[in-house]
């Protein structure tokens, strides 16, 4: 057209037909971008880059298909001349699941770091705890009847802390 923007599909694959919710014949008869939501940020960015003269680029964004389904899509676009007309080849990939998996991996890595930190903290707690337990047992062996009850309480609490740190 006059804006030097491609306005029609010249070929489309079955996956694109399924995503758009139209038959191949329907999509080939439609003008671009009438087959996508007019306010689509992704389409606006593609048009902007073509107008800027960029001939090869990749964009990633959420895309709402005409039938309402939203996917995170990576569009790779290559603009070139074919028989004197500007055309663009667009390859799109649904990366929704990949991004979800990457997010789960990041969370898993954070949890692993928390686990390592917990283990280190437990180790640091156990060292002074062992010393405290040893001194309390030493005091207990002195046989002072006035403090025996308190020493038993302290030893019991030391055992409780030790069992908690053993969970890490």
Structural contact between residues 87 and 6, judged by C-beta atoms closer than 8 angstroms? yes
Domain boundaries 14-94, corresponding CATH code: 3.30.450.20
Q: Is the dihedral of CA 40, 43, 47, 52 positive or negative?
A: positive
Which sequence spans correspond to the domains of the chain? 14-94, 103-166
Structural contact between residues 126 and 162, judged by C-beta atoms closer than 8 angstroms? yes
92-122 pLDDT, tens digit per residue, is 899 999 999 999 999 999 999 998 998 889 8
Q: Name residues whose C-beta falls within 8 Å of residue 118's C-beta, 6 or more positions apart in sequence.
A: 168
What is the pLDDT, as a whole number, of residue 1?
47
Beta-ladder partners of 58:
76
Tell me, yes or no, if the pTM score tops 0.85.
no
**Which of 60, 42, 40 has the alpha carbon at shortest distance from 50?**
42
pLDDT in tens, the chain (168 residues): 445 566 777 888 898 888 878 888 888 888 766 666 667 787 788 888 888 989 999 999 888 777 778 889 898 999 888 888 888 888 889 999 999 999 999 999 999 999 899 888 988 898 899 999 999 999 989 888 888 899 999 999 999 998 888 876
């Amino acid at each position: 057209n006059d804006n030097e923007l491609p306005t029609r599909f010249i070929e489309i694959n079955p996956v694109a037909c399924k995503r758009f919710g139209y038959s191949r014949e329907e999509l080939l008869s439609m003008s671009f971008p009438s087959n996508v939501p007019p306010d689509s940020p992704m389409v606006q960015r593609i048009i902007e880059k073509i107008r800027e003269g960029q001939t090869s680029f990749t964009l990633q964004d959420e895309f709402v298909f005409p039938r309402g389904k939203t996917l995170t899509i990576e569009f790779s676009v290559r603009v070139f001349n074919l028989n004197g007309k500007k055309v663009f080849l667009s390859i799109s990939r649904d990366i929704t699941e990949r991004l979800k998996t990457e997010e789960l991996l990041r969370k898993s890595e954070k949890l692993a770091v928390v686990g390592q930190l917990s283990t280190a903290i437990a180790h640091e707690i156990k060292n002074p705890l062992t010393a405290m337990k040893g001194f309390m047992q030493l005091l207990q062996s002195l046989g002072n009847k006035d403090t025996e009850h308190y020493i038993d309480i302290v030893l019991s609490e030391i055992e409780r802390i030790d069992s908690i740190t053993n969970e890490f």
